[in-house]
Amino acid sequence: MANLTNLYDVSKCTACRGCMVACKDWNQLPAVIEPFKGNYDTHGGDTNGDTFTVVRFIEGEDPVDGVFWNFLKYQCMHCFYPACMKVCPQGAYSKTEWGATFHDPEKCIGCQYCTYACPFMIPKYRKREDKISKCTLCVDRVEEGLTPACARTCPTGALKFGDREELLAEAEERVKFLQANGFPRATIYGRVELGGLNKLYVLTDSPDKFGLPVDPKVPGQISFWQNWVQPYFGWLIPVALAGSAVSFVTTRILANKNGDHTEGGHE
Amino acid sequence: MTNHIVDLKNTDCALIMGSNAAENHPISMRWLLRAREQRNAKIIHVDPRYTRTSARADIYAPLRSGTDIAFLGGMIKYIIDNEKYHKDYVLAYTNASFLVKDEYGFEDGLFSGYDPEKRSYDVSSWDYQYDENGLPIKDPTLQHPRCVFQLLKQHYERYDIDTVCQITGTPKKKYLEVLEAFSATGAPDKTGTIMYAMGITQHTVGSQNVRAFAIVQLLLGNMGRPGGGVNALRGENNVQGATDMALLFHIIPGYIDSPTNGADNKDLLAYIRKATPGAAKLQFNSLEEFRQLVAAGFPNSGFKINTSKWMVSLLKAWWGDAANAENDFAYHYMPKRDANKNYSHIALFEAMHRGEIDGLFVNGTNPVVGGPNANKEQEALSKLKWMVSIDLWLNETADFWTYPAWQRPVENENVPKLAANDIQTEVFFLPAAAVYEKEGTASQTGRWVQYRWQGADPVGESKADLWIYNELGKRIKSLYAGSSKPEDEPITQLAWNYDDEHGHDDIMKVAAELCGFNVADGLPVEGFANLKDDGSTACGCWVYCGAMTYKDGKVIYKPQLRDNKDNSKEGLGLFSNWAWAWPVNRRIVYNRCSISPDGVTPWPGDEKRVLIRWDEAAGSWVGDDVCDTGKTSPPEKAMPFIMRPEGMGCIFATKTSMKDGPFPEHYEPWESPTANTMNKQNLNPATKVWEPDKQGTPDKYPIIATTYRVVEHWQTGALTRNLPWLAELMPDMMVEISEELAREKGIKNGRKVIVSTTRGDIEAVACVTKRFKPFNIHGKQIHEIGLLWHYGFKGFATGDPANRLTPHVGCANTMIPEYKAFLCDVRRA
Ligand code: SF4
Ligand code: SF4
Ligand code: SF4
């Protein structure tokens, strides 16, 4: 079956955040109202356990072009070769035949290894359930013949859903057009990154201008984990989660990626 | 909109000015971005602040709030000096060639006929020169010094690029980019659209700002053509419908002049004489005599010649059998406004504040958050005996008497602070159904009247507006039942029949009345050309006439049509069988201009955007849109602007069209950091000043403030601040401040600040941003800040209402408050 995906064209996104609300509505995610911190970027530009997608606002000034304000819808990239799935000891992750990376909360035990493995730091721990949550690519809608809630609601046409090959062709056209019309650095994101993402972006500038890793990489420890730890010590994990010393050890093996990942998760 | 939302896809260039379309009209961007994708259209955004619209624009040009006429005046000059105007169009479809009376003049910022005492103009000199037959004299060479074109050129001689940029603070390079890009649409094969909203209208020169657009678009030949037009993006989904139904005080449904208590309105004949352009000069003593004159081709009043038909049909709709030829069709039942009084929002609240008003119905509005000078308006509510609030929520206005309503961030002796037990107003709250919980039509910004079926049951005891008003009408009538007093007749005789056979309100009965019916058989009137002034037709709003039709034994209500196939052969997106557009399902008004004057030759290179053409064999206009001219008038007679007596687009606005001048002239906002350098008047000379003592001056209040909305909230926020998902996205009242001003004032991003004007103080979170920049005005650095006006003390997302800061002063023509430019000071909280 062909891959079905979203094409998100930043040159058409008005940062209305309708997609964020539609996502919360469809997935019945609660609002977490926090004080305004001086930036439209309410969620610090990152997803969280109750927010599967965010729109980033990146403000800057260019000596030639003047002020710019870049917007970016951010969510799980549904990687062709998902690191989250690779590390999950419980097999909670799976790929649908049309390309979504599906996380099954029934199988999830809240170990959070996927949060360290994901190059985009997408899976987030939901403390109250002791489980991970993330964008589902609206599996439950797509398999009923509907488009994902975010794409369905997008008023400008920035977000589309369809056959990846067709959307890729469209993205190429758009990038050509943009390059010829004031955006010489316009590019596609998601075609080759990490061997391909089941999410396509048309960017008006280089990925770093949108807070995306230019050359995303799966952390080196992942293959160590996959090739050594899991086959021999995988049975240890349920035990580890009971709070034994092994938990500390196994968590540390992976947790050197960045200090933000506090034990016990964050919401 | 003269055009409609989908039509934005047909443009070659869009000038978005006084509008944050991406945030406040998200769907407009869908079509505009398509124009860029498919036609390589350019998008220009002119705004004091870089917004989400600017982020999607090709050119962003900043301008200081309240200087739009300087900006557009410079554009008019540029278009003329560089001969960018569409010559054939200007000659054939505008009044450019008309000669103007010798008495008309302009000096020192004043047009001829000014009375400084009354702050108003005698407009009699703002008129054409007429020949012996009463027809305007023209000079097709456009060279005569008194012709409109030459007067226009002379008027804007002062608006050179440097002068303009000194006033607006726009960097010259950016200004030139805008001028070049937009005036390129004067080429016959190009069209450009102007999209505007409250950033244009909410000024003491609001109407003249729009006039300036009209002049630009007439010069460039952009009116009446796909991808063109002057397009007001209406701020609420049905505000167009509300205006059609006479939301404004000077009109009755269908934009008919509302009758006054003056001698010139004393009876129906006097009213018709006054309201029909040109009729004052005619001799007639009865409606029959008037009809004969009309049949003979008098007076020359354009389409408004039909005013008598609209008015009599309206009276028949309201008073049914009690309105007949013998009693002036019950004209004497109709309430008359005081000709010398103003009943606009500000005036109403001033009167309320003086204790002149006993009771108030508030529905669909929330003045404690949305009204100008909200501190004063809140105090005014406390002087009412009673107030009925009809809303989805107990909003700030419904709860104006509670403790939190009177909390202020700083004590200020000029701002009242009442306690609940000081307030005697009795408040009634009627919970209203939301839009998806009731049925009916909404007339959107492009004049499409669209039916909406009910999607959910109303919550709790809430009711649809129709239910509420139908019950009110019935109960008032029953209170008067049995009265034989003549002064009660307007109520006892009122035709009020909106119930179905079960005694429930029936929205189709309202629709039938609005669309008009033949009194004899009750069947729909097929289009307003069939309305009569002899009592045989009834019609509640003539512009909706034709929306209901009778075919094959069935009544069809066209707003319910849902054919989403584009009927336009060239893919212009007319969708004429989706819902119905007023008037007569015309999708683009003034569409006579979409083809050259001969009616058969397309504008060179623009074959695809022709909407109608003259079919000689058939002797009528044909095309994908409904023609906006006499259907059988041959091209040389087919006027493009039929609502105007001269039938032409008005570069020069004659007589009573405007209260403050035939040409737009730059005046500073009421509160401005600088003197006017364009002429000797600072403020629009025809604007009424309500509270002279409340005028802030730049020595104490050096910073310009403006107010606006964000996409996450809607209007006063009652609807959106009560939705957790939206509250989450814009949780607090915030004020956008430039990095330069923040540095000067020691303000940190995300920290609280106090903003003050002579009307009050508010607290808000600072959003320090690169997207606001100080302006260089006459060599001086002037700061501007921006405030969201969505917030109040109720709901999940709360904050001080920005309108506690805004002034009680408004546009000379419409009295819309000057929300968009006033003076303030800002400091750390
Ligand atoms: S983005 Fe992260 S969570 Fe999503 S599929 Fe890729 S690795 Fe897994
Ligand atoms: S695809 Fe579904 S789950 Fe993912 S961001 Fe869109 S709406 Fe949310
Ligand atoms: S709904 Fe569409 S336009 Fe709005 S923020 Fe999301 S992607 Fe952008």
Subunit contact B731:A24, Cβ cutoff 8 A:
no
d(CA B64, CA B49): 9
- What is the count of structural domains for chain A? 2
Give the whole-angstrom CA distance, residue B465 versus residue B130: 51
**Whole-number Cα distances in Å, B34 to A103, A182, B9, B208:** 36, 17, 6, 31
Q: Are residues A234 and A152 both part of a single domain?
A: no
- For residue B302, the model assigns a pLDDT of 77
For residues B728 and A210, give the distance between their C-alpha atoms in angstroms, rounded to a whole number.
Answer: 23
Q: Identify the sign of the CA torsion B464, B469, B472, B478.
A: negative
Please state the separation of Cα A74 from the chain's center in Å: 6
Give the mean pLDDT per block of 10 residues along chain A (267 residues). 94 98 97 94 92 97 91 98 95 96 96 94 94 97 97 97 97 96 96 96 97 89 61 53 42 39 37
What does the alpha-carbon distance between residue B61 and residue A67 come to, in Å, rounded to a whole number?
11
pLDDT at position A228 is 57
A-interface mutation test, from B721, B729, B733, most A Cβ less than 10 A away:
B729
Closest atom of ligand 3 to CA, residue A157: 2
Query: Ligand 3 centre and the CA of B197: distance in Å?
Result: 22
Q: Are B197 and B235 in contact (CB under 8 A)?
A: yes
The pLDDT assigned to B301 comes to: 72
CATH class held by domain B5-235: alpha beta
Ligand 2, atom 8, residue with closest C-alpha: A23
Distance CA(A201)–CA(B601), nearest Å, equals 45
- At B429-472, the pLDDT tens digits run 999 999 999 999 999 999 999 999 999 999 999 999 999 999 99
Pocket around ligand 1 at a 6 A CB cut-off: A 76-79, 82-84, 101, 118, 120, 122-123, 134
Cross-strand bridge partners of residue B817: B810
**Mean pLDDT score, B515-519:** 97
Query: B257 in helix, strand or coil?
Result: strand
The mean pLDDT value for B209-232 works out to 98
Put simply, whether A44 touches B (Cβ < 8 Å) is no
State the CATH number of the domain containing residue A127. Answer: 3.30.70.20
pLDDT for res A230:
60
pLDDT tens digits along B789-803: 999 999 999 999 999
Residue indicated by tokens 């007001």: B232
Whether residues A248 and A141 share a domain: the answer is no
What are the Cα distances from residue A147, in Å, to A22, A162, B192, B243, B648? 12, 8, 35, 38, 49
Same domain flag for A41 and A152: yes
Residue A234's pLDDT is what?
54
> Nearest residue on chain B to A60, judged by CA atoms?
B770
Q: Is A266 within a domain? A: no
3-state secondary structure of B613: strand
Residues of A with CB below 8 A from B729's CB? 17, 20-21, 42
B490 prior amide bond cis, ω within 30: no
In this structure, the answer to whether residues A229 and A205 fall within a common structural domain is no
Same domain, A127 and A237: no
Nearest CA to ligand 3 atom 4: A16
Residue B193's closest CA among B220, B170, B173?
A: B220
Distance in angstroms (rounded) separating the CA atoms of residues B600 and B612: 9
Taking contacts as CB-CB distances below 8 angstroms, the residues of chain A near B770 are 59-61, 67
**What is the residue with the minimal CA distance to atom 4 of ligand 1?**
A76
A16 touches chain B (CB under 8 A): yes
Residues 6+ apart with CB under 8 A from B126: B100, B101, B104, B111, B112, B113, B652, B653, B654, B655, B661, B662
Is the CB of residue A182 less than 8 Å away from at least one CB of chain B?
yes
Note if the pTM is more than 0.90.
yes
A129 and A244 belong to one structural domain: no
Q: Are residues A142 and A246 in the same domain?
A: no
> Do A93 and A55 have their domain in common?
yes
Q: Choose between B236 and B531: higher pLDDT.
A: B531
Q: Is A101 in the pocket of ligand 2 (CB under 6 A)?
A: no
A63 touching B (Cβ < 8 Å): no
Is A22 inside any structural domain? yes
A197 and A229 in a common domain: no
Look at strands B42-46 and B59-61 and give their pairing. Answer: parallel
The DSSP code for B19 is -
Task: Find tokens 């002020």 and name the residue.
Answer: A67
Asked if residue A254 has its Cβ within 6 Å of ligand 2, the reply is no
Q: Give yes or no for a contact between B70 and B85, defined as CB atoms under 8 angstroms apart.
A: no
H or E element that contains B31: helix B26-39
Q: Tell if the CB–CB gap between A156 and B29 is shorter than 8 Å.
A: yes
Q: Per the omega criterion (within 30 degrees of 0), is the bond before B685 cis?
A: no
CA atoms of B637 and B115, how far apart (whole Å) = 40
User: Which candidate, A143, A137, A142, A151, places its Cα nearest to that of A93?
Assistant: A137
Q: Which pLDDT belongs to residue B434?
A: 93
Distance CA B614, CA A252 (A): 81
> What is the SS3 string spanning B722-764?
CCHHHHHHCCECEEEEEHHHHHHHCCCCCCEEEEEECCEEEEE
Q: In what order do the strands lie in the sheet with B42-46?
A: B59-61, B42-46, B13-17, B192-196, B230-232
What domain range includes position A229? 222-258
Residues of B in contact with A36 (CB under 8 A): 730-732, 734, 750, 765, 767
Ligand 2 and A26: CB distance under 6 A:
yes
Residues A152 and A230 in one domain: no
Closest ligand to residue A71's CA: 3
Distance A27 CA to ligand 2 centre (A): 8
Residue B589 has a CB neighbour count (10 Å cut-off) of: 25
Ligand 3, pocket-test mutation among A71, A154, A201, A202, most atoms within 8 A of CB: A154
Partner residues linked to B554 by β-bridges: B551
Residues 6+ away with beta carbon under 8 Å from B701: B671, B756, B757, B758, B823, B824, B825
Pocket test for ligand 2, best of A27, A96, A98 (most atoms within 8 A of CB): A27
CA dihedral B68, B74, B80, B81 (to 10 degrees): -170
Please give the residue that has the higher pLDDT: either B239 or B456. B456
Question: Could you identify the atom of ligand 2 that is nearest to the CA of residue A138?
Answer: 2
A12-21, B275-284, B357-366: least confident range: B275-284
Sign of CA dihedral B360, B363, B367, B368: positive
Examine the domain organization and report whether A236 and A172 are in the same domain. Answer: no
What the block records as the tokens of B576 is 């004429």
- Cα separation, A164 vs A196, whole angstroms: 11
Report which secondary-structure segment, H or E, holds B111: strand B110-111
- Strand ranges for chain A from DSSP E: 4-9, 54-62, 66-74, 93-95, 101-103, 124-126, 131-133, 159-163, 187-189, 200-203
Nearest to B734 by CA among B676, B810, B797: B797
Quote the pLDDT of residue A244: 40
- Over residues B602-658, the pLDDT tens digits come to 999 999 999 999 999 999 999 999 999 989 999 999 999 988 989 999 999 999 899
Residue A23 CB less than 6 A away from ligand 2: yes
Q: Phi, psi (5° rounding) for residue B5? A: -60, -50
Beta-sheet strands, E only, within B642-751: 703-708, 734-738
Residue nearest to atom 6 of ligand 3 (CA): A19
Closest ligand, as measured to the CA of A74: 2
Q: Determine the average pLDDT of the residues in B288-302.
A: 85
- Name the closest residue on chain A to residue B724, using Cα atoms: A31
Q: Which residues line ligand 3 (CB under 6 A)?
A: A 13-19, 55, 73, 153-154, 156, 158-159
Question: CATH classification of B692-828, choosing from 3.40.50.2300, 3.90.420.10, 3.40.30.10, 2.40.40.20?
Answer: 2.40.40.20
Domain definitions of chain B by residue range = 5-235, 692-828
Give the model's pLDDT for residue A255. Answer: 40
Cα distance between residue B109 and residue B666, in whole Å: 8
- Which residues of chain A lie closer than 8 angstroms to B56, CB-CB? 11-12, 14
Same structural domain, A107 and A119: yes
Ligand 2 pocket member A52 (CB < 6 A) = yes
- Ligand nearest A8 Cα, by number? 3
Residue B206 has pLDDT above 60, yes or no: yes
A117 lines ligand 2 (CB under 6 A): no
| Residues of B whose CB is below 8 A from A53 | none
Tell me the C-alpha distance between A81 and B417, whole Å: 64
Collect all residues of chain A within an 8 Å Cβ-Cβ radius of residue B751.
38
Residue of A nearest to B797 (CA): A33
Please name the residue of chain B whose CA is at the shortest distance from the CA of residue A31.
B725
Mean pLDDT of B256-268: 94
Sequence-distant (6+) residues with CB within 8 A of B827 are B745, B753, B754, B756
Interface test mutation site (partner A, options B728, B738, B749, B751, max chain A beta carbons within 10 A): B728
CB A189 within 8 A of CB A29: no
Q: Is the separation of the CB atoms in B825 and B671 below 8 Å?
A: no
- Residue nearest (by alpha carbon) to ligand 1 atom 2: A118
Q: Which of B725, B739, B740, B748 would best serve as a mutation to test chain A binding (most A beta carbons within 10 A)?
A: B725
Q: Tens digit of pLDDT for each residue in B60-94? A: 999 999 999 999 999 999 999 999 999 999 999 99
Q: Are A33 and B727 in contact (CB under 8 A)?
A: yes
Nearest Cβ partner for A33 among B724, B750, B773:
B724
The string of pLDDT tens digits covering residues B747-786 is: 999 999 999 999 999 999 999 999 999 999 999 999 999 9
The shortest CB-CB distance from A181 to any of B40, B52, B726 is to B40
